[in-house]
Chains A and B, each alone.
Chain A
Amino acid sequence: MAKLTFRTDLCKGCGLCVDFCPKGVLVLAKDKINKKGHHPVEAAYPEKCIACAFCATMCPDCIITVEK
């Protein structure tokens, strides 16, 4: 089972992880605002994650840890 961890407070809400996720796991949480004032990423469908780490590869702020 893949596991995603986010350093949520460092997220700038750029959405590149969402764009590059091939399985539609991630969304920007429109109902949340982090310390930086952004809608941070969260895993809406974690069960779909295949731990490809495309999200983390494209994250400019290195906030994602991927485990499986």
Chain B
Amino acid sequence: MVVFEKPKALADVSMHYCPGCTHGIVHRLVAEVLDELGIEGKTVGVAPVGCSVMAYNYFNCDMVEAAHGRAPAVATGLKRAMPDRVIFTYQGDGDLASIGTAETVHAAARNENITIIFINNAIYGMTGGQMAPTSLPGQVTQTSPYGRDTSHCGFPVKVCEMLSQLDGPEYLERVAVNNVKNVKNAKKAIKKAFENQLAGKGFSLVEVVSSCPTNWGMTPKKALEWIDEKMIPYYPLGVYKDRTAAKEQGGE
């Protein structure tokens, strides 16, 4: 009996990610959800600019590559034109929380019926390790070589907390992929984010706290530990908004 195998929606190719990069885990989780919900054939994914720019090669569903930060707008166009299709974006922190902040906030405010997978690894990976909107205070990067000085360049953007202030979004959850338990929780959240879209509930975003061993300058294992030590205390995991659950609780 097969306990574990590559999901069908994940392309049978070698991904370009660095050794130990957790993008691959999240790709697999998305593909598993597409398999389990039987929606690969009616799904269109939107890849961002950044490390996951070539995600279009890794999913077997139809894919679009968007301009930097614009994936939620592209997804809006796709969903409005094809309401019966499942549309998701896969974006990193530079893409979603810096250059694409406006597109993110307004897609959330409109409760656009799309699913967003948001990778927060606190750094710009593709360009070689610059400070991200989510880089932690004091974090050393190529463009914050003395550590992120909040008096100079401000504080990290906490996307789930920020979006939870809007009336629009249906579902916001922050998860991590740094151990088996967290990966299983991440899968549940991603599945829910797709199920919400199928049920017409609206904007669902899963923020995945992830690692970047190469640009953090750590071994893959140490990077996952650093998520526990540094990232999660600053970016607490949990559900930040679940309108359906809130309604159900309110009704009780």
Chain A residues with CB under 8 Å of chain B are 2, 7, 9-10, 12-16, 19-20, 36, 38, 51, 53-54, 56-62, 64-68
Do the beta carbons of B221 and A16 come within 8 Å of each other?
Answer: yes
Known pairs A13-B19, A56-B4, A57-B183. 19 more at Cβ < 8 A?
A: A10-B14, A12-B20, A14-B213, A15-B219, A15-B220, A19-B221, A20-B180, A36-B14, A57-B4, A57-B25, A59-B24, A59-B25, A60-B19, A60-B25, A62-B7, A65-B6, A66-B3, A66-B5, A68-B1
Q: How far is the CA of A36 from the CA of B59 in the complex (A)?
A: 22
Q: How far is the CA of A13 from the CA of B220 in the complex (A)?
A: 10
Q: How far is the CA of A56 from the CA of B1 in the complex (A)?
A: 15
Q: Which of B1, B6, B21, B179 contacts A60 (CB 8 A)?
A: B21
Given contacts A58-B25, A62-B6, A66-B4, contact A14 B180 (CB under 8 A): no
Given contacts A57-B183, A60-B17, contact A65 B4 (CB under 8 A): yes
Given contacts A20-B180, A58-B183, contact A51 B3 (CB under 8 A): yes
Do the beta carbons of B180 and A54 come within 8 Å of each other?
Answer: yes
Chain B residues with CB under 8 Å of chain A are 1-7, 10, 14-15, 17-25, 27-28, 179-180, 183-184, 213, 219-221, 224
Residues on B with beta carbons closer than 8 Å to the beta carbon of A61: 14-15, 17, 24
Residue of A nearest to B22 (CB): A60
Residues on A with beta carbons closer than 8 Å to the beta carbon of B20: 12, 14-16, 60
Do the beta carbons of B28 and A62 come within 8 Å of each other?
Answer: yes
Residue of A nearest to B187 (CB): A57
Q: Give, as a whole number of angstroms, the nearest-CB distance from A37 to chain B.
A: 11
The 7 A-B pairs of least Cβ separation, nearest first, read A60-B24, A14-B20, A12-B19, A14-B19, A66-B4, A53-B4, A56-B4
Residues on A with beta carbons closer than 8 Å to the beta carbon of B1: 67-68
Q: How far is the CA of A2 from the CA of B1 in the complex (A)?
A: 9
Q: Which of B3, B21, B27, B184 contacts A67 (CB 8 A)?
A: B3
Residue of A nearest to B18 (CB): A12
Residues on A with beta carbons closer than 8 Å to the beta carbon of B7: 62
